[in-house]
Structure 1
Amino acid sequence: MRLELAKVLVNQPDVLVLDEPTNHLDLPSLMFLENYLINFKGTLLFVSHDQDLLDRLAKKVLYLRDGKISEYTGNFSSFLEQHALEKEQAAAQHENINKKIEHNQKFVDRFGAKASKATQAQSKQKAVDRLKSMQSTIEVEGKQAAPHINIPILRQSVKNVLTLEGMTVGYTTPLIKKINLMVQRGQKIAIIGANGIGKSTILKSLIGEISLLDGSVNHGENVQLGYYAQSQLDQLTLSASAFDNVLESNGLLTEGDIRRILGSLLFKDQDVRKPVSVMSGGEKSRVGLACMIAKNANTLLMDEPTNHLDLISQENLADSLVKYAGTLIFVSHDRRFINRIATHVLGVKSNGQHLFVKGNLDAFFEDAERLNFDLMQ
């Protein structure tokens, strides 16, 4: 992705068309791209699910729905406000006309057969017809289906969830060295840094999928881990259905339990029996979430959880993780998502150095600047 972007940007085009330019970019690359596009003098047309990018770059928003495009002036937040107001006004206008139709129709139904009221009834019927014609021109946008994500825990862990002592991760050579950290119950820790420097390796080391090169990780009492992989191809049985994947995650669940979990993630009726192999990226992500939810874990490890999720699903996931009563360690490049959720941030660099800061992403960058910790290096 970075190479393809570099090829496009180096030509200094007058018109730039970008489709999801931040997909698969790490945070330093994303920030570089954003700064470049802010200063770009040409015309920019882009598709994105990155709400921070949309707010910082967009001066107009083109909204596509049911084969029609509507234009709004302003950034994405401005669009949301304008669109919400339009929907509210359209619904109110539709309801007002509906009341007038009902009022006139009652008169027609009651007096239409009476000769003495025939003229009035005909007039009322014409009014009903006019109102129905007017009403048909008002577009009332139905509420978009959205997942209702709830992540329960079976029982709480002890206060000290994970103790990392000199934890060094990597494969043949160290990627990140000597992490000393006490993860406490209720903390929500975001791991940030460039691609390929070991963020996912940290999570895989914590669940025991990859052996440590040095140091130790000790789990507190009653700690139950739930894991959400960056790619669901690594986690799901593709030949099996969504239902069977969730059942594999927790064999104690009843059919009703599984259908409730999948239903909350928009899998209805026979959708739950559809093989994962034929699903879209977004559907696979929601099956992965369902499998994680099914574990009732009190400690979640999530790797790029917003990948392949639409904006509404991202918002719902963020809401659920803010409310989540357990402990969370997650890798993400989504600034809005991190700022919403994180109570702490662990920044890691290509030279193996790391910085742990209490607070969200904004707090991390304040401390990093003060301590001369450059995430871009």
Structure 2
Amino acid sequence: MLNVRAIQINFGLQEVLKNISFGLNAGEVIAITGANGAGKSSLLKCIAGTLAPSSGEIQLQKGIHFAYLPQSRPTEKQSVMEFLLRDFPEIHKSYQKMHSRNIETIEYANAITEYLEIGGYELESKFARLLLSFGFDETDLSRELQDFSEGQKQIFPLLQILASDAQLLILDEPTNHLDISMCLYLEKVICKEKQKGRSFIVVSHDRVFVDKIADRTLYIQRGESILVRGGYSQLLVHLEQDFQSRQELAVNIQDKIKKLETEARRKKVWAGRKEKEKNGAADKGFIGARAAKLAKRAKVVEQRQQQMLETLKAEKPFVEKKLNLSFADYTVANKHILSAQNLSKKFGERAIFENVSLELTTQDRVAIIGDNGSGKTTLMKCLLGYEQASSGQIHRNNYAKWLYFPQNIQDYFTEKILLHNLMSYGVEEAIVRQFLGAAKLRRERVLQPISTLSYGELMRAAIVSAILASSEFLFLDEPTNHLDIESLEVLDQLLCQFPGGLLFISHDRQFIAKNALTILSIESFML
């Protein structure tokens, strides 16, 4: 169906991708993953034809149609149906005519007939079926877009391309902002469409999602790609094996380099000695000729060894350093953090949550889950006093050391430069830099303005600040939002080392499984 051959992408002097190749068959799903900025979205744009590669070619089988879903959410002020029909211009025009305020009775009848004949009602039925498959109601088609949560809005562009006749669907981070139930719906829809012969290329950082849908996974790192059968779990196994083999090869080559360098130094001394003998024997006939011959031979040997050294150094593989988190240990005593009794919150007449009772200690690691818009963030803000509950009581331990990381993690930092934010804990700069380095924030990155750093870098720095502050409890609101897979792995390890308690909101199933001892769900306004 699709062949991608030796794709290279350069932006000026920056080489983003080099020699990326893979094929895609009918009814197959390829997941693409890697660090933020690795070139995943650029690769999708090349396949979709919106970006020309610097070299290489992309061949799509004749007669195959594709649909491309970039990273975006609808912001228009219109109904869901109006939005969905935008990609079907003829039907959309007929729909608008039919719903015009000034239309006459006869014109209305003609518009209905036209709408029927061009497949408008058939398309509406398709949209209704797709809506139901994602847990919506058919009546949601007539609702305004702004009535829905950010995660729900993310589904509507997906419905557009699912309703098309495209056999190849190209999706760039479709799970962004989706809650767990929406992710489950999407997995089922992709698997169902795959059985019909449709193919998918999906960029995603959702580790469980990739495991569920992917037949093969393409991992992009430092501009190059690794393609493995299966999903994220199989990729991890491959990367571990690749790390071990690269490490062994690098060690063997380094040993050879050391031996050659030692031999080269010895030969250089020998060559220098022969050169002196040659000069000293310039007028001594046979002895002079023999000395000159030995000196020449010594230089040839030295040059050959230098060439072997250069070859070995070129062959030595790059070995990514494994994450090595080493922080000063501190002990967190079992301490009461807060308790809430019969907490309720309303916005006007609309209930957000009701009769919530909760107790937290430094030994607790609690995840709050629930659909988008169910009130998880509002509950956390009420618990911390950033919002006022409508009723109920909250008792907080003012002597406990806790920190709150909001969804917009930039708001956590008060100083412009990253390093300056971590210098208020009485720890020497060298130690702070060491801790940041352990969290993969090295050298010049720690001196960058907060505004220039990625969400993943800021979240890692925030966890480091919590350890430097000897915090006893963390409140985290969607800490995995916008994180790439590498940052998710680092965050998991950082929180594993954190000795205190946690209360966090997340839709990332693997993150929840690794970090939560207790899971609370908000359903029908109740916890």
Q: TM-score, normalised by structure 1?
A: 0.78
Task: Tell me whether 1:253 sits opposite 2:430 in the alignment.
Answer: no
CA contact (8 A) 1:185 1:326 kept: yes
Please name the residue that 1:352 is paired with. Answer: 525
CA contact (8 A) 1:190 1:331 kept: yes
Superposed CA offset, 1:234-270 (max 9, x none): 4344x722234445xxx55356365555444444455
Residue from 479, 494, 512 that aligns with 1:338? 512
Residue from 225, 232, 249 that aligns with 2:402? 225
Question: Counterpart of 2:407 in 1: which secondary structure?
Answer: coil
Task: Tell me whether 1:212 sits opposite 2:389 in the alignment.
Answer: yes
Q: Is the alpha carbon distance of 1:341 and 1:153 closer, same or farther for their aligned partners in structure 2, counting shifts above 3 Å?
A: same
Return the offset for 1:87: 3.1
Return the offset for 1:154: 7.7
Superposed CA offset, 1:5-49 (max 9, x none): 232323263111111221111111111111212223211111111
CA contact (8 A) 1:185 1:327 kept: yes
User: Aligned ranges for residues 128-147 of structure 1 at < 5 Å?
Assistant: 129=307, 132-133=310-311, 136-143=314-321, 146=323
Please name the residue that 2:475 is paired with. Answer: 301
CA contact (8 A) 2:257 2:312 kept: no
Return the offset for 1:170: 4.1
1:174 counterpart letter in structure 2: A
Please name the residue that 2:166 is paired with. Answer: 13
Q: Is the alpha carbon distance of 1:72 and 1:90 closer, same or farther for their aligned partners in structure 2, counting shifts above 3 Å?
A: same
Task: Tell me whether 1:282 sits opposite 2:489 in the alignment.
Answer: no
Please name the residue that 2:338 is paired with. Answer: 162
1:353 counterpart letter in structure 2: M
1:320 counterpart letter in structure 2: L
* Unaligned ranges ≥5, structure 1: 355-377
Please name the residue that 1:371 is paired with. Answer: none
Question: Counterpart of 1:40 in 2: which secondary structure?
Answer: helix
Q: Is the alpha carbon distance of 1:252 and 1:170 closer, same or farther for their aligned partners in structure 2, counting shifts above 3 Å?
A: farther
Return the offset for 1:342: 0.9
1:165 counterpart letter in structure 2: Q
1:40 counterpart letter in structure 2: E
Q: Is the alpha carbon distance of 1:93 and 1:245 closer, same or farther for their aligned partners in structure 2, counting shifts above 3 Å?
A: closer
User: Aligned ranges for residues 95-106 of structure 1 at < 5 Å?
Assistant: 95-103=251-259, 106=262
Question: Counterpart of 1:17 in 2: which secondary structure?
Answer: strand
2:321 counterpart letter in structure 1: K
Please name the residue that 1:360 is paired with. Answer: none
2:239 counterpart letter in structure 1: H
Return the offset for 1:196: 1.1
Q: Is the alpha carbon distance of 1:161 and 1:110 closer, same or farther for their aligned partners in structure 2, counting shifts above 3 Å?
A: closer
Q: Is the alpha carbon distance of 1:323 and 1:258 closer, same or farther for their aligned partners in structure 2, counting shifts above 3 Å?
A: closer
Return the offset for 1:228: 0.7
Q: Distance between the aligned counterparts of 1:125 and 1:216, measured in 2?
A: 82
Return the offset for 1:205: 0.7
CA contact (8 A) 1:161 1:183 kept: yes
Task: Tell me whether 1:322 sits opposite 2:496 in the alignment.
Answer: yes
CA contact (8 A) 1:149 1:265 kept: no
Q: Is the alpha carbon distance of 1:322 and 1:279 closer, same or farther for their aligned partners in structure 2, counting shifts above 3 Å?
A: closer
CA contact (8 A) 2:176 2:482 kept: no
Superposed CA offset, 1:275-334 (max 9, x none): 222333333334444454454331211111122333233223223323433221110001
Question: Counterpart of 2:193 in 1: which secondary structure?
Answer: coil
Q: Distance between the aligned counterparts of 1:187 and 1:89, measured in 2?
A: 40
Q: Distance between the aligned counterparts of 1:338 and 1:272, measured in 2?
A: 29
Please name the residue that 1:242 is paired with. Answer: 418
Please name the residue that 2:222 is paired with. Answer: 66
Q: Distance between the aligned counterparts of 2:309 and 2:390, measured in 1?
A: 75
CA contact (8 A) 2:183 2:209 kept: no
Q: Is the alpha carbon distance of 1:234 and 1:197 closer, same or farther for their aligned partners in structure 2, counting shifts above 3 Å?
A: farther
Q: TM-score, normalised by structure 2?
A: 0.58
Which is worse superposed, 126-135 or 164-173? 126-135
CA contact (8 A) 1:191 1:347 kept: yes
* Unaligned ranges ≥5, structure 2: 1-153, 275-290
Q: Is the alpha carbon distance of 1:204 and 1:154 closer, same or farther for their aligned partners in structure 2, counting shifts above 3 Å?
A: farther
CA contact (8 A) 1:63 1:71 kept: yes
Q: Distance between the aligned counterparts of 1:318 and 1:108, measured in 2?
A: 47
Q: Which has the larger radius of gyration?
A: 2
CA contact (8 A) 1:87 1:140 kept: no
CA contact (8 A) 2:228 2:235 kept: yes
CA contact (8 A) 1:285 1:308 kept: no
2:176 counterpart letter in structure 1: N
CA contact (8 A) 2:179 2:507 kept: yes
Question: Counterpart of 2:355 in 1: which secondary structure?
Answer: strand
Please name the residue that 2:372 is paired with. Answer: 195
Which is worse superposed, 262-271 or 15-24? 262-271
CA contact (8 A) 1:170 1:213 kept: yes
Q: Is the alpha carbon distance of 1:273 and 1:65 closer, same or farther for their aligned partners in structure 2, counting shifts above 3 Å?
A: closer
For these two proteins, the number of residue pairs brought into alignment is 347
Bigger relative contact order, structure 1 or 2, given CA contacts below 8 A and separation 6+?
Answer: 1
